[in-house]
Amino acid sequence: MILDFLDHLETERGNSVRTRNARWAAIHSFMRYAAVRDPASLPITQRVLAIPAKRFNRPVLGYLSRDQIAAILGTPDERTWNGRRDAVLLATAYNTGARVSELTMLRVLTRSGIGDRRDRAVTVATQACPSLAASTSPAHTETLHSDAPAAVGHRPVL
């Protein structure tokens, strides 16, 4: 019955092998729980626990070449405020390896992170320094408090 359900997921519902294996893992976990809680069900739970996960090919992850990275970094129109913001965010993401969630949490002024394990110090490449300095210049930060986002969706009101 369990095998029929797992086959149904793939054939009739069109789920991928990964989705099938996620359902299999939930069933597998429940059967381990049932085996401990109800020893009388041991013959059934052992048969279900013997069902293996289905194997699948993992896609090969590729990397961008230097030319492709240069093309991406050169895409934003730096004549506009949004373009400069996007250029700084892309350069910072590339140079630091920061996650998008970390980039969205960047703040204009940093606090001393002594003893705070949530802060992360990163080295920024020399090419990105002028862009970062220009985007956080005193003209931009005078009206922003220390917890203001470094990158927002629109131009800050001065």
Contact between 14 and 4 under an 8 Å Cβ cutoff? The reply is no
Region 3-23 average pLDDT:
91
Region 131-153 average pLDDT:
52
Task: Label residue 144 by pLDDT band (50, 70, 90).
Answer: very low
Q: What is the share, in percent, of the chain residues with pLDDT greater than 70?
A: 66
Query: What residues does each domain of the chain span?
Result: 2-49, 66-141
Q: Within its chain, how far is the Cα of 158 from the centroid?
A: 33
Task: Label residue 23 by pLDDT band (50, 70, 90).
Answer: very high
User: What residues have CB less than 8 Å from 45, skipping those under 6 apart?
Assistant: 31, 32, 34, 35
Whether residue 156 has pLDDT greater than 70 = no
In this prediction the pTM is: 0.44
Q: Which has the higher per-residue pLDDT, 92 or 77?
A: 77
Whether residue 143 has pLDDT greater than 50 = no
Region 66-87 average pLDDT:
90
Contact between 107 and 150 under an 8 Å Cβ cutoff? The reply is yes
